Structure 1
Amino acid sequence: MGTTTVAWNINNTAENGSYTEMFSCITTFNILNFLTVIIAVVGLAGNSIVLWLLAFHLHRNAFSVYVLNLAGADFLYLCTQIAYSLECVLQFDKSSFYILLILSMFAYLAGLSMIATISTERCLSVMWPIWYHCQRPRHTSAIMSVLLWVFSILLSLLVGLGCGFLFRYSEYYFCITLNFITAAFIIGLSVVLSVSSLALLVKIVCGSHRIPVTRLFVTIALTVVVFIIFGMPLGICWFLLSSIIEFHKIFSNNFYEMIAFLSCINSCANPIIYFLVGSIRHHRLKWQSLKLLLQRAMQDTPEEVSGERGPSERSGELERV
């Protein structure tokens, strides 16, 4: 997408005889890729910390399992974007381009699936708390995460095979069908994500019984909002617009680089959200250990209740974790 984008722009501007426009386009292209690399490196550090803490240092619950898998999806996506941006700027061998495309598609679909599942489970836990806590199978989070990973990789591989990204052999109608299935999958997840988040917000604000706002709710709400603003444009342009408009018209004029940069901001923002929510206490920021901040961000008890416990009780709880 990157080199072909530059080639299209060079050809178009050369025909018009506008060297200045061509130079400006290439400069913007390189700047966007450099910014993407910088943001992605920061995001890799943040997601690495989240992965390390949730995997080895914190007790995992139903929601932290999804957060762990979301951090893994974000980590993989940022790695592919760094490789792609460096490949475009430094003009490396382009033989791995389609492999990076498949991997980034896989990571994006997995991340979207995790966010939609987190929002849905949180909505169910608030709407039907007795059923959720009593009837929900114990290993639902782990099973759902595995299924989402498997489905995402299978769908990405099928798109790569059908559209000629892997073996340079494509079947037009099969590719169109797979793009339609992928677009339907993204639309379905987006609808589920939006409806569950809206239903949860209405329940908390307008419900007959007042439901306290916990740190976990704030964490999920901010994650959903950031994804809708920064992450959703990539899915829309990848699978929805490409089936309506000619492919090169979408990814020309550095448009793909812009939405890829936004998606990197989304993957980079999630660890920042966790630690920021965990650090806020009584409208003040208290910077403590990252382990404690991440644990607080996953806290599903009201602030008033958790605030009544003394320091010795909280430290004892952390030692048990």
Structure 2
Amino acid sequence: MTEATPTNESYEDLPPICDIDNLTPKVLTFIITLVGLIGNASVIWFLGFCMHRNTFYTYILNLAVADFLYLCFHIADVIHTEVIRIFLHISIRIHIIIQTGTNIFYIAGLSMLSAISTERCLSVLWPIWYHCHRPRHPSAVIYALLWALSMFLSILEAVVCLYLPTNLVLCEKVAFTIAAWLVLLFVVLSVSSLALLGSMLCGSQKEPINRLSVTIMLTVLVFLLCGLPFGVFFFLYYRIDYSYYVHYCLYMVSSILSCVNSSANPIIYFFVGSYRQRVQRWNLMLVLERALQDTPDEGECGGSLSQGTLEMSGSRVEQG
């Protein structure tokens, strides 16, 4: 960072957010990240320790863990940029660790979201096949593989491209592999989400709208608006030759948007769960249960859902 000496002409053409000494985007990132950490920690607490988990609960739990750790590395990046590198001389090594962790949990979050959308699409479009032919405990295997693949690709990219930057051909191959995996995840996410949306809005057998489908669709929409730019930046990182300040500007914008994406998911859960409901004493666990409810909102008129309805919703998913 200290070695970059671009001309004043190229620097003045960029917006103020590209100024390394501008604290506004970093403070904004820090505030958004803190809000997201609190929200994702609440989701992890309720789903991990207070609620009986089913298939979709487990997927949402893993997505919340990925978002929480992703935001932790972003806070570490802000602290490293403004504090640690000023006093210590190990900033490059710390930067590599932070970048690797950020990539791991970004890929893991996108993988979990794609798996959630695909699983929901299968359960809606082919419910009989889904409940009869789906393995009894596939979720643990799926998200374990997704976590392992996310870690393997990110660590491999760090070793080949950052610790051993001399082999450019091998680095390009690894970067292409990661980019291909991201593109595949995006295609799976888009197709499954469009199919789910189509089943909700049109067709001869229109699927009754329930809160779980709405929650998934809003989560996917926020990712497409805020989370996808970071993936595009990652895809173009080794493919476009541009100045350091342009690189920093693109990273800062995509980083802020990705923090918004990871922080918005808990807000979506609690918004969908509390919509058109009169929740006394603001029971957050009940609100989260409503957001992941797998049955239509029939007969809801401001009161709380019956426990039998929630249990029936959970049992329907577990039977798959």
Q: Quote the offset at 1:29 in angstroms.
A: 3.8
Give the structure 1 partner of residue 66 of structure 2: 73
Residue 86 of structure 1: how far off its partner (Å)? 1.7
1:266 aligns with 2:261: yes
SS state at 1:304 partner: coil
TM-score (norm: length of structure 1): 0.87
Q: Does 1:116 align with 2:110?
A: no
Measure the CA separation in 1 of the matches of 2:62 and 2:280.
27
What per-residue deviation string (whole Å, max 9, x for no partner) do you get for residues 58-111 of structure 1? 111111111000000001110000010121123534131000000000000000
What's 1:302 paired with?
A: 296
| Residue of structure 2 equivalent to 1:104 | 102
Asked whether the equivalents of residues 29 and 257 of structure 1 are also in contact (C-alpha less than 8 Å), the reply is no
Residues 109 and 192 of structure 1: CA distance in aligned 2, closer, same or farther (over 3 Å): same
Amino acid at match of 2:217: A
Identity of aligned residues (%): 44
Residue 206 (structure 1) shift: 1.6
Alignment match, 2:158: 160
Counterpart position of 2:317: none
Query: 1:151 Cα shift?
Result: 0.5
TM-score normalised by structure 2 residue count: 0.87
RMSD: 2.9
Structure 1 residues 58, 17: closer, same or farther in 2, change over 3 A?
A: closer
Deviation digits for residues 248-286 of structure 1, max 9, x if unmatched?
45853522111101000000000000011000126x787
SS state of the match for residue 282, structure 2?
A: coil
Amino acid at match of 1:270: N
User: Equivalents in 2 of 1:21, 1:127: separation in Å?
Assistant: 48
Give the residue type in structure 1 aligned to 2:293: Q
- Give the match for residue 38 of structure 1: 31
Q: What is the aligned partner in structure 1 of residue 76 from structure 2?
A: 83
The 1:72–1:256 alpha-carbon spacing in structure 2 relative to 1, beyond 3 Å, is same
What is the aligned partner in structure 2 of residue 245 from structure 1?
Answer: 240
Please identify, of 129-138 and 37-46, the stretch whose mean Cα deviation from structure 2 is larger: 129-138
Match of 2:196 among 194, 200, 210: 200
State whether residues 77 and 98 of structure 2, in contact with CA within 8 Å, keep that contact through their aligned partners in structure 1. Answer: yes
Corresponding position of 1:57: 50
For the residues of structure 1 that align with 2:10 and 2:154, how far apart are their CA atoms?
40
Cα distance change on mapping 1:125 and 1:316 into 2, 3 Å: closer
Question: Which of the residues 204, 209, 224 maps onto 1:228?
Answer: 224
Distance 1:18 1:79, change over 3 A: closer
The runs of 5 or more residues in structure 1 that have no matched partner are: none
The answer to whether the aligner puts 1:172 opposite 2:172 as a matched pair is no
Q: Is the 8 A contact 1:47 1:74 kept in 2?
A: yes
Q: Quickly say closer, same or farther: Cα 1:74–1:251, change in 2 above 3 A.
A: farther
Instruction: Give the drift of 1:168.
Output: 4.3
Contact 1:74 1:267 in 2 (8 A): yes
Name the CA shift for 1:177/1:217 in 2 (closer, same or farther; >3 Å). Answer: same
Task: Return the alpha-carbon distance in structure 2 between the equivalents of residues 125 and 301 of structure 1.
Answer: 13
CA contact (8 A) 2:233 2:250 kept: no
Q: Tell me, which stretches of 5 or more residues in structure 2 are unaligned? A: 315-320
